[in-house]
Every structure is written in C-alpha cells, then in structure tokens.
Homo-oligomer: A and B are copies of this chain.
Amino acid sequence: MKKYLLAPGPTPVPPEVLLSMAMPILHHRAPDFIPILDSAKKGLQWVCQTKNDVLILCSTGTGGMVASVNNFFNPGDKVITVNGGKFGERWTKICQAYGLTVEEIKVEWGYSIKPAAIEEALKKDPAIKGVMVQATETSTGVAHDIEGLGKVIKNFKDTIFIVDAISALVAHDIRTDEWGIDVLIGGSQKGLMLPPGLAFVGVSDKAWKMNETSKMPRFYFNLKKERENLAKNQTNFTSAVSLIVGLNEALKMLQAEGLENVFARHAKLAHATREAVKAIGCGIYSKDFPSNSVTAIEAPAGIDGQVIYKNLRVKYGITGAGGQDQAKGKIFRLAHLGYADTFDVITGIAAIEMVLKELGHPIKLGTGVGVAQELLMK
C-alpha cells in the first residue's frame, strides 16, 4: 500500500532534500562545509524573521526547550509556563527538572491563553523572569497569540519571552524581532521539511544578558559556546553535517516560494481542512485560534477518534495522529505542515470520509472533498 505521512512531525521530506543529504559526507571543520552552514544560518534568520543569532543544535526540538531553560535562569528563579496541552505541560516539567519555581497557568485544552492573563500575573509578581509558551500547541491544534503576548511581556524589563515554535515555524507568521520574542525554538522535522535531528534556538540581546548570570550546570547545550562557534560558521561539537546540508536545501525551496506565500499556503490548507471536516459532521477541537500546522478534528458522536486514526493508517496507509491524554478518543489529527499542498489535503479528507462511512457515520462521499476543492481553487 502506498504510504502518506500527514502527521504533525516528522513530516515528509522533499526528494530534493533527501537527495542532498545522500551526497558524500563533508567534514564539519573543512572549508567545503563553511559556506553551507553560513547559508543555512542566514536562511534560519530569514525564516525566523530575526537579526538574532539562531543557533543550531544536534538534538530533537525538546533539546532546544531544555537549552532555553538551562541557559538563562538560576535554580529558584520564578517563571510562568502556559500549559494548554502536552507541550505546555512539557515546559512545566523541564522547568521543574531544573529547579525553577514554576507558576503554571493552565489553559483549558482547545483554547489559547489570553495575553491579559499573563499581564496580570506579571504585574502581580515582578520577580518572574520568564514566560514560556507554545506558538502552536500540537496536541490540541491551537495557536497562542504570540504577537499579543509579546506586546505585554516586552514591558517587563526583567522578563524574557520564550516561545516553542517547533510545530509553528514555517506554517505561521512568527515575527521574532517585531513581536519581542527573546528565545525562539524550532525543530527540523516540522515545517522545515527535514528529518528529526536539529533544534534551532534564536536568542535576543535581552536573553543573552540573562545568560551572563545564569549558573546552571550545562555542557552539551551551551548556547554561549554555540554562539561563538556560529560566528565562525561552526557548531560547538561535531555538526550534524547531513542534516545541515538538507536544511540549506529546504531553506532554498522556501526562499524560492517566498515567506508570505509559504504562510498563505499553510493558512489555505488549514482552512480548507477545517471547512471540509465540518461539512462531514466533525467539530474542530480548537475553540479560538486554530493552528495552521495541524488540525485537531473531533470525532463524530459515538465514534472513537483513535479508531479513526488507526483505520486511516491500517486501511489507507495514511499516518496522521491520534489524541493524547484527555483528548484521547475524542479527536484525531491531520497535519498540513511543511512539504504539503492541495492534494495532501484532498487525500486526507477523502480518506477520512471513507473511514467514517465504514464506521457507520452517515455521510455522502465527496462532500468534504468538494468543500476543500472549492477553497483550494481560490
């Protein structure tokens, strides 16, 4: 059976990128590799809309999150984490693992954080040194209001704004500098159309200032040393050379498309997905700002979301994602992230219709597909 990867990471890697990574291995300190890293470094700044250094780590995205906790604070420092899903919860766990005093602001799953809530919390306790949030919460398909949060947080001169944009980057317009994001985290296996293995961390001057007084034990994720190395187009330890070659290739593809067009494509695919599944009787789990990276789809009443997810894979070769924790059984998820276009959405919607029909859901085949087609033709 032909396979389709429509999961919110890892996402499909374009053949051009796969082949670039199959080229002979370069040595990470040899001159051939330097211009590649230089170009990738500049491309990352372009995609992150920042003049800040965007450091390249050899790890999954979670490594970037850990680096963001580990390089700017001291044990006992107070931080706010926004927990509106599995990845928000991960912020809390990481901060606790490193001995920070965490004020966790819980957000009901399916909703985004109100910037006013963060403003209130920061006014109440000016000792808070950082606010950590997801740009998009992959487990719920919700986008948080990063622009609005940035406006609030930038008024607090001793507080840095840390954004996990791992699943948002490329799919969402994230204006790092304009919106006052101090630490921006990305990962390779999402919008950047690469295999897993790289994390990206963009750091503002305000955050570098805090790095100077941060005394936590660290060695592998030492952002200051990464910065010194990046200035020489190197990484602190052995570079993940093949992934960085692929990164450069993926960035070239995105640059050829243009950043505005990339965002518009993701917005269109996400919108078409939402309208199509609504037309066949499914709800959207995100109740305010749905993500452009992944759509969390509510299973119709009486049907288990996990069964839909499994049948998509087993019967039709489509790997999406199920629900996690409290959303397990209630939802299934379909991504439109990175190397995704019109017929990925059509494929996903058509398969959902077929699975739902087989499960006894009363629909006319082609209904959702028709809605998607209409919107995707615009």
Which A residues lie at the B interface, using CB under 8 A?
3, 5, 7, 9-13, 18-19, 21-28, 30-32, 58-63, 66, 93-94, 97-99, 187, 189, 195-197, 216-221, 237-243, 313, 319
Contact = CB atoms under 8 A, between A and B. Distances in A.
Nearest to A221: B220
A369 to B, nearest CB: 24
A24 B10 contact: no
Contacts of A216: 217
A26 B242 CA distance: 18
A247 to B, nearest CB: 12
10 contacts: A5-B26, A7-B30, A13-B25, A18-B22, A58-B196, A58-B197, A62-B219, A63-B237, A97-B218, A217-B217
A220 B5 contact: no
A71 to B, nearest CB: 13
Contacts of A219: 62, 66, 93-94, 97-98
A98 B216 CA distance: 9
A59 B5 contact: no
Contacts of A195: 21, 25, 240-243
Nearest to A57: B59
A59 B219 CA distance: 13
B238 A61 contact: yes
Contact of A10 (B9, B27, B31, B93): B27
A220 B59 contact: yes
A237 B97 contact: no
A196 B239 contact: yes
A228 to B, nearest CB: 15
In the A-B complex, the 6 residue pairs with the closest CB atoms? A195-B242, A18-B22, A97-B219, A60-B237, A66-B220, A22-B22
Given A58-B58, A216-B217, A220-B62, A197 B240 contact: yes
Contact of A196 (B30, B93, B238): B238
A65 to B, nearest CB: 8
A18 B21 CA distance: 8
Contact of A58 (B13, B59, B242): B59
B24 A12 contact: yes
Contacts of A187: 238
Contacts of A28: 10, 196
B62 A237 contact: yes
A234 to B, nearest CB: 13
Contacts of A243: 195, 197
Contacts of A62: 219-220, 237-238
Contacts of A319: 27, 30
Contacts of A24: 3, 5, 12-13
A19 B22 CA distance: 6
* Highest count of chain B CB atoms <10 Å: which of A13, A26, A238: A238
Contacts of A21: 18, 21-22, 195, 242
A364 B273 CA distance: 72
A242 B32 CA distance: 24
Nearest to A17: B22
Contacts of A61: 237-238
Nearest to A98: B217
Contacts of A25: 5, 10-13, 189, 195
A238 B59 CA distance: 10
A51 to B, nearest CB: 28
A196 B241 contact: yes
A217 B99 contact: yes
A93 B10 CA distance: 34
